[in-house]
Amino acid sequence: MKVKFSDFLNDSTKAIEEIVTALSKIYGYASILGSDTRGKRYLVTDLDVNIGDSGWNERGFVLRVFNGLNYSEFSFNKIDKPSHLIDFVSEHLMKSFEEIKNHGEVLKCPRVIEEPITGTFEGEVEILPENVDPGTKIEKLSKMRDHAHDLSKQIVNFWSTYEEVHVNKIFISSRKSLRQSYIWSQGYLQAIAQNKEKTRYSYEGFSGLKGVEILDEMSSGVDKVVKASEALLDSEKIEPGEYDVICSPDVAGVIAHEAFGHGVEMDMFVKGRAKAIEYLGKKVASDLVTMHDGAAAAKEVSSYFFDDEGTLATDTIVIDHGTLKTGISDLLSALRLGTKPTGNGKRESFERKAYSRMTNTFFARGTDRLEDMILSVKHGYFLEKVSSGMEDPKNWGIQCWILYGREIKNGKITNRIVSPILMTGYVPELLSSISMVSNDLELSGIGSCGKGHKEFVKVSSGGPYMKARARLG
Amino acid sequence: MMIDRIIDALRSQREVDDWKIIERRVDGRELFFVKDALDMNRAKQTQKFFVTVYHDFEENGKFYRGSSEFTIHPGEIKIESLIKENVFSSKFVKNIPYPLVTSSEKRIAFTKAIPIDSINEVAYDMYSEKLENTWINSSEIFMDHVEERIVNSKGVDVSNDVSSLYVEFVTTSRFEKTEVELYWNFKFSKFEDKVIRDKVVNAMKLTKDRAHAVSTPNLKDIPVILVGESVKEFFKYHLYKVSARYIYQHLSNAKIGMDLHENNQKCDGITMWIDPFLEGSAYSVGYDEDGFPLIKIKIIDNSSVKNIWGDIRYAHYLGIEPTGHMTNFTVEPGKTSEDDLETGKYVKVLSFSDFGMDPITGDFGGEIRLGWYSDGKKTIPITGGSISGSISDLFEIVLSKETQQIDNFTGPNSLKIIGAKISGSKTST
């Protein structure tokens, strides 16, 4: 079913156009991004139920003007009179800019020159969130919880979460008029198991450009998450060292994301923070490795038609058979570097600055079979479930917390489980060690991505199963 | 005023048994620099109303309190239909009944607002310090003034007024042909130029050390000394262990009087407070989001659980007195000096990529970005590899007597632990 565009943004369009026209006359370039993202989050646990706003909800605007040397921005969520906004820009933004300009340096950025484009893009889902009442959603989540308890007496709490998000955005400048409306949803199952000594948990995630239909997919994950959390009660600590590993698609995804996703965000090129700039056109990974990023590269939670600076989405091949080809870029970084923006200018919300950010980041599929990959390991681990990761674009370190690893001995998965696992290493070394890549491809978008320790945006990542040599601790 | 329109609409709905509104206004200024050149300046002015409707009902002889939370934005014309929609949702939320905060005494704001237009001064101070072959690669400065009003159907009408200065910066150092960097951030409710300059100088010195660091060797059975941010993260295990929400949700088994370190052979007594009035913290507020008036409370005394902390709902579920929800916490320092902690062999970690503590399992760890390794005779800077462990596996925990403040935490500057594992790095990064 087609997703309907926001009434609020429709009603605000005339005022936005008026402001953009007035500011463009004064400053030579002006644009406004308007957002109306709304959704609900439903949580059912053993002990309570919660219905609240999605954490991704936002409603407001951000205007950008060319100040003569670079750009100034103002985020707001109230349009009283357009003249008030225009006055605020000159009285506050420009005053602060002029003071700094007179005191020190300003990093110049060329003025945006745009090709004219207009368009409305609307997504589709099977079942629109407004067509299913909250009671049905809560009932389905409750059934998953109850099923988990039927499966195991060691489960002391079970959380089932469903979140539906309807994104509406409008981008207006003197030559662009774009609007988009789409829905993504995600689900999360978490089983908490306990015995006399330990509390352990595992999770299963579900995501996509989907509506309420995702609730039916979630039901299929209950058995797996319950078994995994029970097994973790018997988990051991891993002996630190270097091991052969088989990475599941979500672990492969976090490697793609942390290792070369952050490393090729081109605002880092502008800052001189990316080691990757020295390696463009050079070998950085095994020949088996091809890596994509792009809102148009896959259909997942970070698929959109245009980014938060009005650049249309693309599919960027970052690494092609082991060779680093290019980075991913926001508009202003591209202007400074003299490159083409790739549609990766994203904001946490209208309240924040736009940066070069990842969208859907993944390794391309290979030709190996998973069974053969496991058979090829003498002693190592099958790594599953990512907890978190952290980038180091300048020095190419990588840190990934992985929930658990299943031991592989002489080509067979044993009953021994280690948890948690901290995978660290030097990015080119890790990527060069990739020796087998399966013919699968799975993406997951249940998490979010920060830049440093803030600026959280929705992303997805994934890939096939991959065999590598990794340092685990 | 818009809040009055919302209150009138809530009062007019028969099925709304109780309600709560948090009105939040933010006025902010932001500066972004690449090296010392201005990349962008920004401003922000927003207003939001976070509304919760409560609906009480009975089903099969059981009483429930349903609720639904939603946000109203300025200029919203469908207030009544939003309320109706959320009252309908609340009928499917079958929670055990709990009370709201009743009328609280009003307090005078205890924080002095930072004038947000002074943001340029922060930038000038940050860039006033110099160190050979070392510089600020980039920085982001945020100054916000947040006014919050909490109103509910039981007569609560209180306010918080908070100013914050948040700074994030990256320092780079060059040694021969190699450049290395370290990432930093801090958040305060006040602007003190000396504090900012000291933070920048310290960051530049440590980055210079990283430029000379070698790969972390493989080491076994060596004490680890955590310093700075990782110390705060380490104590999150203790903080959440005694939270009413964690206990109610079976994520913690803590009980009053329980010794949290009974399994550790040797451990300095840990004494922890939650403190709403922590000087300099941008998280210091007089009231929590329910409008509950906050006071300083000791939650752990000499490693023994003294008080469970939690908001009015989870405290009610556990049958204990609420403390309100707070984010500031303090740990009393130990008796050992940092010089005495640094004896014999040890690895001291000054910067991690992202040190993490899992408050449910007590597992912790992170990749080393900068540390010092002492073999008992000489110390060398190290980088790469990782530290990992679990609270229950530690033989020894010693707190330094020197203290630090990081955002919403005050406590020991260093923490020596024995029983964590060190994974060395093969290749220098």
Q: How far is B47 from chain A (nearest CA, A)?
A: 7
Domain boundaries, chain B: 2-210, 214-269+333-423
Sketch out chain A's domains with CATH numbers: 7-102+118-232 (3.30.2290.10), 241-472 (no CATH)
More confident residue, A393 or B38: B38
Q: For B45-70, what is each residue's pLDDT tens digit? A: 999 999 999 999 999 999 999 999 99
- State which residue of chain B sits closest to A46, comparing Cα positions: B249
Whether A358 shows a pLDDT value over 80: the answer reads yes
pLDDT of A394 over the 70 cut: yes
Amino acid identity of A88? F
Taking the Cβ of residue B73 and every Cβ of chain A, the question of whether any pair is shorter than 8 Å is answered with yes
| Chain B partners within 8 Å of A70 (Cβ) | 38-40
Q: What is the pLDDT of residues A432-471, one digit of tens each?
A: 999 999 999 999 999 899 998 899 999 999 999 999 999 9
d(CA A80, CA A15): 10
Strand ranges, E, within A93-175 = 105-106, 117-122, 155-173
Per-residue pLDDT for B324 more than 80? yes
Whether omega before B276 lies within 30 degrees of 0, making that bond cis, reads no
Q: Judge: B42–A241 Cβ closer than 8 Å, yes or no.
A: no
CB A43 within 8 A of CB A30: no
Instruction: Give the β-pairing of A323-324 and A316-320.
Output: antiparallel
For the segment B283-308, the average pLDDT, to the nearest whole number, is: 96
pLDDT at A393: 84
Q: What is the pLDDT of residue B428?
A: 39
- Residue carrying structure tokens 């955002």: B407
pLDDT at B425: 78
Provide the sign of the torsion angle of the four alpha carbons B71, B76, B81, B83, taken in this order. Answer: positive
- Which of 3.30.2290.10, 1.10.10.10, 3.30.465.10, 3.50.50.60 is the CATH number of B2-210? 3.30.2290.10
Task: State what percent of residues in chain A have pLDDT above 70.
Answer: 100
How distant is the Cα of A127 from the closest Cα of chain B, in angstroms? 19
Q: Which amino acid is present at B399?
A: L
Tell me the nearest-neighbour CA distance from A367 into chain B, angstroms. 30
State residue B427's pLDDT score.
Answer: 45
| Per-residue pLDDT, B386 | 92
CA nearest neighbour of A243 among A21, A409, A29, A414 = A409
User: Mean of the pLDDT values across residues B71-92?
Assistant: 95
Residue of B nearest to A269 (CA): B34
Other beta carbons within 10 Å of B364: 26
pLDDT tens for each residue of B113-170? 678 888 999 999 999 988 999 999 999 999 999 999 999 999 999 999 999 999 999 9
| A265 pLDDT more than 70 | yes
Regarding predicted confidence, which is higher, B380 or B111? Answer: B380
In angstroms, the CA B92 to CA B86 distance is 10
Cβ within 8 Å, pair B427-A426: yes
CA–CA gap between residue B198 and residue B124 (Å, rounded):
14
Q: What is the mean pLDDT of residues A224-239?
A: 96
Does residue B110 register a pLDDT over 70?
A: no
Distance in Å, alpha carbon of B337 to nearest chain A alpha carbon:
30
Q: Is A105 in contact with B32 (Cβ distance < 8 A)?
A: no
Task: Categorize the per-residue pLDDT at B264 as very low, low, confident or very high, splitting at 50, 70 and 90.
Answer: confident
Interface touch B386/A273, C-beta < 8 Å: no
Closest listed residue to residue B265, CA positions, set B421, B388, B397 = B397
For residue A438, the model assigns a pLDDT of: 98
- What is the mean predicted confidence (pLDDT) over B275-281? 93
- A272 at interface of B, judged by CB pairs closer than 8 A: yes
pLDDT per residue as tens digits for the range A165-193: 999 999 999 999 999 999 999 999 999 99
CA gap B183, A398 in Å, rounded = 14
Q: Which of B77, B86, B65 is nearest to B21 (CA)?
A: B86
**Residue B429 pLDDT level (bands cut at 50, 70, 90):** very low
Lowest mean pLDDT among A75-84, A229-238, A239-248, B65-74: A75-84
pLDDT at A423 over 80: yes
Compare A53 and B105 and report the one with higher pLDDT.
A53
Strands (E), A123-247: 155-173, 176-194, 199-208, 241-247
Judged on CB neighbours under 10 Å (0-12, 13-18, 19+), A325 is: middle
Place of tokens 């990064």: B429
Q: Which member of B29, B32, B74 has the closest CB to residue A77?
A: B74
CA A449 – CA A460 distance, rounded (Å): 9
* pLDDT above 70 for A204: yes
pLDDT in tens, A298-335: 999 999 999 999 999 999 999 999 999 999 999 999 99
Instruction: List, for residues B202-249, the tens digit of each pLDDT value.
Output: 999 999 999 999 999 989 899 999 999 999 999 999 999 999 999 999
Is B423 close to A424, i.e. CB distance below 8 A? yes
Inter-chain CB proximity B42 and A88 less than 8 Å: no
Task: Quote the minimal CA–CA distance from B274 to chain A in Å.
Answer: 24
- Alpha-carbon distance of A344 to B108, in angstroms, equals 46
**pLDDT-derived band at B15, boundaries 50, 70, 90:** very high
- pLDDT score, position B278: 94
Average pLDDT value for residue range B391-404: 95
CA distance A465 to A246: 7
Residue A84 contacts B where some CB pair is shorter than 8 Å = no
Between A396 and B59, where is the model more confident? B59
Q: What is the ipTM of this complex?
A: 0.95
